[in-house]
Chains A and B, each alone.
Chain A
Amino acid sequence: MSTLRVDEIKDSTGASTALTIDSSGRVTQPVLPCWSVEGIGGTSSNNSILDFANTNNGSSNLSFVQGGVTWSGASDYKITVPVTGVYLVNVGINCRATSSSHATTVRLVKNGTEISSSGAGKEDGESNHFDYLSINFIFSLSANDYLQVKNVGGNDLQFPNDSTTGGYFNGHLLG
């Protein structure tokens, strides 16, 4: 058994703080790669990328990235990760179909390719009320891989015109 007493751990050059420990033993990781983009509203066309932080409806003041993660915003709604590792990714969507005979289905997209097993959906979207879809996914990503969320249900998706209820897309490096 050995114990190391330290307040801070930096990289080998001393340029960046990787980890801090306060007097109560609480640990922080100030540059842990993570992101949260929130707010989505209006309508998402079939087979299109969901536009989180929509400038008309999104609560972009709640959105953030850190640790080298980049968010492309309204150009193509991409999250790009800075380092290779295992990531936890969460998506929550509040939506309804534009037709009662269509599904509400979304999937994660990695580097432009749908990850089939990441799907979340309801078979009959029912156009008269909203349903909640959730994805919680862990997978390995390489530096500069990018993620998006896509409507793959076969019809347009509608979101509440409320900046706080349309959905979120967040994640962080596990290690």
Chain B
Amino acid sequence: MSTLSVDTIQGKTTAGSVDFPSGTIVQQVNATDNGTANRAQQSTTSTSFAHMSNFDLAITPKFSSSKILYMGNFNLFGSNTTYTYMAIYRHIAGGSATYIPTQASNGHCAITQQTYMQVPVFFIDSPNTTNAVTYKVYLRSHDSGDTSYIGWISGGSANDNMTNMIALEIRA
């Protein structure tokens, strides 16, 4: 049995960088860290996935083997009584955006009923890089002529858009 009594631990090589065992949370980012917590509403009439750039969330892993736990809650709306689909793509700096196929083949979710509904999205990703990783929200409508929205309120304050996003780097 050994005991270390200390008030502060810092890295020997870099004071702000200390490695911990598997399962430890290395860092976090959230919507506020990446610009603003309140993201303005966006929409698309496309039946192909379109990037909703207001809802990007970026994290730069400290270790290439780390896992990223992504947690997002979004409010979606479709202008007709068919479907709105959402998907999350991963973009690593210097590369192209890659769809993360964690759930349905048409995207992470589908909603209907012409009412804003909340859609939680949770997954563990293995980006295998120490470059900046941006998780991007893509949206599409089921039928041409329909409009799909993300974010509850158009214009003015975005405070009520009912969206929150988090990414945690977890040591593998």
Could you tell me which A residues sit within 8 Å of B by CB distance?
A: 1-2, 4-14, 21, 25-27, 86, 88, 105, 116-124, 126, 131-139, 174-175
Contacts and interface: CB of A to CB of B under 8 A. Distances in A.
The CB with the most chain A CB atoms within 10 A, among B20, B23, B115, is that of B115
B77 A12 contact: no
A63 to B, nearest CB: 22
Given A2-B12, A121-B75, A136 B166 contact: yes
Interface string B67-83: 00001110101000000
The CB with the most chain B CB atoms within 10 A, among A105, A117, A122, A124, is that of A117
Given A27-B21, A137-B166, A117 B71 contact: no
A114 B13 CA distance: 43
B116 A8 contact: no
Interface stretch (B95-103, B135-143, B156-164): B156-164
A8 B21 contact: no
B120 to A, nearest CB: 4
Interface of B: 1-7, 12-13, 20-25, 28, 30-32, 37-38, 71-73, 75, 77, 113, 115-118, 120, 152, 159-164, 166, 168
B73 A136 contact: yes
Given A12-B6, A14-B3, 15 more contacts: A6-B4, A7-B1, A7-B2, A8-B3, A12-B7, A105-B162, A117-B164, A121-B116, A123-B115, A123-B116, A132-B120, A135-B73, A135-B164, A136-B71, A138-B28
A117 B31 contact: yes
Contacts of A133: 118
Nearest to B75: A121
Given A11-B7, A116-B38, A124-B115, A136 B12 contact: no
Nearest to A134: B120
Nearest to A114: B159
Given A10-B4, A122-B118, A123-B116, A138 B166 contact: yes
B164 A136 contact: yes
Contacts of B7: 11-12
B120 A4 contact: no
Contacts of A14: 3, 5
A9 B152 CA distance: 47
B5 A11 contact: yes
A86 B28 CA distance: 9
Contacts of B162: 105, 119-121
